[in-house]
Structure 1
Amino acid sequence: MEKAEVIKAFHLMWDNYPESAMLVDKARNIVAANKIAPSTGRIAGQKCVLVEPLEQHKGCRAEEAWATGEASYRKKVGKFGDVVSFWVPIDGCPDYLVHFSVGSIKKYEYNV
């Protein structure tokens, strides 16, 4: 799949996601970002590892996801409670992954 096709597919799937989502390459470039991502400092063309605050990158699981070819995640406590971040490789596109979180922008109430 060509880069333009990967970017188009990313936007189709992630633009309306209510949290920040990025398409990242192995050089840590933000290749594409969904609509809300710029409000959190994540802008296409920038390095994801340079998004402030820098300490948020401790525990990054991108390399693990690329090495195994499987999704990886990390759970931490953020300003709204639990935050779960995911790094998801894209089948057929070994140089890219989608990185997104749940709970970093707002608190979600769960119906149990």
Structure 2
Amino acid sequence: MKSVDQSVLEAFDTMWGLYPEPVLLIHACRDILAVNQRAEELGVTTGIKCHSLYPSERVCPGCLGNKMLKSGQATRKGSLSNQTGRYLDGYWIPVKGEKEVFVHFGNDITDFVKPELLAE
């Protein structure tokens, strides 16, 4: 598994530890470096590939991690989860000072989405 400086892990926990949705700190190779409390509660652990959660052997088709890493800019994408039927507002956010590390999470905004978007 790839590693990151302890100060980055501490900053991640300080900022995202109690966020109400699962949040992952991910290396460009897709190793999960850290997870917040909600992700832990859902059984997500460090040291695995993020795409193995879905399960997949490769980067998920809708992942914007590579785009974000190339541009250095946060990216956002809304999508309907085929697994849960919930609408997720997904984010890939670079970590300042870390070229190969990013934060990834999705907010469940189903209750605020127009019904026609859920029918897609």
Q: Which residue of 2 aligns with 1:43?
A: 45
Aligned equivalents of 1:76, 1:33: Cα separation in 2: 22
- In structure 2, give the amino acid aligned to 1:93: E
Query: Which range is displaced more, 31-40 or 6-15?
Result: 31-40
Aligned equivalents of 1:45, 1:39: Cα separation in 2: 16
Is the contact made by 1:89 and 1:96 (CA closer than 8 Å) also made in structure 2? yes
Is the contact made by 1:29 and 1:45 (CA closer than 8 Å) also made in structure 2? yes
Q: Which residue of 2 aligns with 1:75?
A: 78
Is the contact made by 1:30 and 1:42 (CA closer than 8 Å) also made in structure 2? no
Identity over aligned residues, as a percent? 27
Whose radius of gyration is greater, 1 or 2? Answer: 2
Is the contact made by 1:71 and 1:86 (CA closer than 8 Å) also made in structure 2? yes
TM-score in terms of structure 1 length: 0.82
Q: How many residues align?
A: 107
Q: Which residue of 2 aligns with 1:93?
A: 98
* Unpaired stretches in structure 2, ≥5 consecutive residues: 114-120
* Unpaired stretches in structure 1, ≥5 consecutive residues: none
Within-5 A mapping of 1:12-51: 12-51=14-53
